[in-house]
Amino acid sequence: MKAIIKLIIILSIISCKAQSPLFKADPTLPAGTYYKDLNNDLDKFVGTWKWEENNSSFTITLQKIEQYFDGVNYQDMLIGEYKYIDNGNLVVNTLPLLSDSSIEGSYHNISGCLILNKFMPLPCEDCSTDERRVKLFFDDQNMTYKQTSFWLRHRIINGIEQIDAKLIGYRVVDENNVLDGGGVPFGEYTLIKQ
């Protein structure tokens, strides 16, 4: 009987090391660890979402992929693409790339899996203590960035599902301190589920 209990304990320990939640990579875990979305926090962001103001719009479509191998570990993650229209003019549309099977995981223009709680960077003053947000990478095809982050918070307000998004980054400037190209402006967006 003691041998069976020891075996169950050992298998439980191995099982715990095989899967880790998606808050951040743990360097003490071995290569090949699966960072799993244990609480399905990413699921609420899946779908097509749209912000509109005057003749401008910003549409994103997000999908969840499971057990994506990043070269070292496995992880569940969100991938996505987007379309931006400024004053009635199409600026960029990468939405068709979402169905391109030659593009994998983090090579999509929107990707990531960092789950954030209320107190993590960009603290959320009005978030509940158990509310989860996500931080993704955003690659704007019309801009050159040093670093870009896409912070998403899912909410339901008056029965309407929405994402409060913050697009934050640092644009590259030339020697005359002029920003390169036009792209999706940094700032805050409220995107409604379509």
For the cut 70, the answer to whether the pLDDT of residue 41 exceeds it is yes
| Per-residue pLDDT, 3 | 43
Segment 112-116 shows an average pLDDT of 86
Confidence of residue 182 (pLDDT cuts 50, 70, 90): low
| Per-residue pLDDT, 61 | 98
15/171 Cα distance (integer angstroms): 43
Count of residues making up the chain: 194
Confidence of residue 120 (pLDDT cuts 50, 70, 90): low
| Cα four-point dihedral sign 119, 125, 128, 132 | negative
Residue 41 belongs to what domain range? 2-193
**Mean pLDDT: which of 9-13, 18-22, 68-72, 190-194 is highest?**
190-194
Segment 117-134 shows an average pLDDT of 73
Q: How many domains does the chain have?
A: 1
The mean pLDDT value of the chain amounts to 81
Residue 151 makes CB contacts below 8 A (sequence gap 6+) with: 116, 122, 133, 134, 135, 136, 165, 166, 168
